[in-house]
Each structure stands twice: as C-alpha cells, then as structure tokens.
C-alpha cells in the first residue's frame, strides 16, 4: 500500500468527519493500514493519533509502538539551551 495515498485519504476523512463521525473510525483504520505498510513512516501513527484524539478517544496510545530514531527532533528548544 502507498503510505502517501493512505495519509492523504485519511486526512480527507478527518476533514469530512464533521459531517459524518463514522469517518473517524475509518481514519483510524487507514492509519493502521499505513502503519502496516511502513511502520517506520510516522504519518500512519500521526493519522491514527489525530483520528483517535478528534473522536474523543485517547489518541496518545497510538504512539506507544511508534519507532524512535536518533534523527527525532530535540525535546528542548535552542533558546532553552542558553542559546
């Protein structure tokens, strides 16, 4: 499956969920498909988390299995380092 397509489709579902709350559930499923297609691509986790969060479900749980890398941004801002 193409993660680019899945992510964009999921984003459209989230935008349309105002008209149909069932789209939140479908966006979670699309997020799962994107994660299965490429578990190292953060967009699947982001989509699933947004869908769970916007629907009122605990979205942070979707990130429990998200991979981390050394290229992740720092947790403090440059200004916070005395810079």
pTM for the whole thing? 0.70
* Count of Cβ atoms closer than 10 Å to residue 78 Cβ: 8
Residue 69 pLDDT > 60, yes or no? no
d(CA 65, CA 22) in angstroms, rounded, equals: 25
Q: Compute the mean pLDDT over every residue in the chain, rounded to the nearest whole number.
A: 80
Structure tokens at 62: 């979707």
Which of helix, strand or coil describes residue 50? helix
């Amino acid at each position: 499956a193409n993660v680019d397509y899945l992510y964009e489709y999921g984003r459209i579902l989230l935008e349309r969920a105002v008209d149909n709350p069932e789209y939140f559930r479908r966006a979670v499923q699309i997020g799962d498909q994107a994660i299965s297609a490429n578990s190292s691509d953060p967009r699947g986790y982001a989509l699933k988390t947004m869908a769970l969060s916007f629907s009122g479900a605990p979205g942070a749980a979707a990130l429990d299995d998200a991979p981390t890398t050394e290229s992740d941004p720092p947790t403090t801002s440059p200004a916070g380092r005395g810079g």
